[in-house]
Amino acid sequence: ESMLSVLTNTLSCEVGIITQRKMPRVVPDQRSTFDNDELFRRLSRECEVKYTGFRDRPLEERQLRFQTECREGHADIAFVATGTNLQLNFESNAWSDKDEDRIPTREYVDFEREPGKVHLKSQFIMNGVCVIWRGWIDLHRLDGIGCIEFDSERAEVEDQLYRQQIEQYNQRLREFEERHRQYQEQQERRSHDEQEVIDALLCISEDRKS
């Protein structure tokens, strides 16, 4: 197999890798997006929320299911005013890849702070911005008050990951462009060599005729 063929196959593979890269999880300027986006501005103010799971079931069953889900570390909550539905996880170490690290501690699910209520906390990325959802739900009515706030600590971590990902992508792009340049040079040299062979054969043919 020729070197040119190997280089061509390598270029084809790298084009696939570059075009299929994972999209960043966050936007470049999370703080600015959180402060200026209308949806974030509305959700950052305390407003009515409600549990939306099992809406076709009787109230008593929904009350039991809600408490069970909270103790398991998850629940579906909606902001009433905007209709924004969220599948929240109430777990510590929410960013860990290990299931055993993500557990619903009292910091995230607190049934003891106020009688008849559960106080909840959830960390996640929403529209490319790291946020924290905080609120409480009445255990009987299954509604309450909640809001989101900017998660500056996690935003800094994700921003570093974002910059690393962009730099890795740019590095691969530079390497690809260099290989593409080498490929073009080899193509040009090959064409030049082929033309020289053709010219030489034409000269030989003309000499024979004369």
Residue 5 has pLDDT above 50, yes or no: yes
- pLDDT value of residue 61: 97
Q: What does the block give as tokens for 60?
A: 């008593």
The whole-angstrom distance between residue 198's C-alpha and the CA centroid of its chain comes to 56
CB under 8 A, 24+ apart: contacts of 102-106:
102/73, 103/73, 104/70, 104/71, 104/72, 104/73
**pLDDT per position as a tens digit, 23-71:** 678 999 999 999 999 999 999 999 999 999 999 999 999 999 999 999 9
Q: What is the pLDDT of residue 19?
A: 44
Q: Dump pLDDT digits (tens) for 91-141.
A: 988 877 787 878 899 999 999 999 999 999 999 999 999 999 999 999 999
Q: What is the pLDDT of residue 172?
A: 74
Short-list 148, 126, 125, CA closest to 135: 148
> Alpha helix locations (H) across the chain?
3-19, 30-36, 38-43, 59-72, 152-209
In this predicted model, which residue has the larger pLDDT, 5 or 142? 142
Residue in this structure with the two tokens 């998660």, named with its chain if needed: 151
**Helix H or strand E encompassing 2:** none
Q: How, if at all, do strands 129-138 and 117-126 pair?
A: antiparallel
Residue 86 has pLDDT above 60, yes or no: yes
Determine the 3-state secondary structure of 132 from DSSP. Answer: strand
Residue 12 pLDDT level (bands cut at 50, 70, 90): low
What is the spatial distance between Cα 142 and Cα 50, in angstroms, rounded to a whole number?
A: 6
Mean pLDDT across the chain:
85
With a pLDDT cut of 70, the percent of the chain lying above it is 86
**Has residue 163 got a pLDDT over 60?**
yes
Confidence (pLDDT) at 114: 96
- 11 pLDDT higher than 70: no
Q: Write down the pLDDT at residue 8.
A: 53
Instruction: Determine the Cα–Cα distance for residues 106 and 115; give it in Å rounded to an integer.
Output: 15
Token pair listed for 46? 């305390």
Backbone angles phi, psi at 152, to 5 degrees: -65, -35
3-class DSSP state of 79: strand
Q: What is the pLDDT of residue 165?
A: 74
Query: For residues 159 and 156, what is the distance between their CA atoms, to the nearest angstrom?
Result: 5
Highest mean pLDDT among 9-13, 25-29, 203-207: 25-29
Question: What local confidence, expressed as pLDDT, does residue 209 receive?
Answer: 67
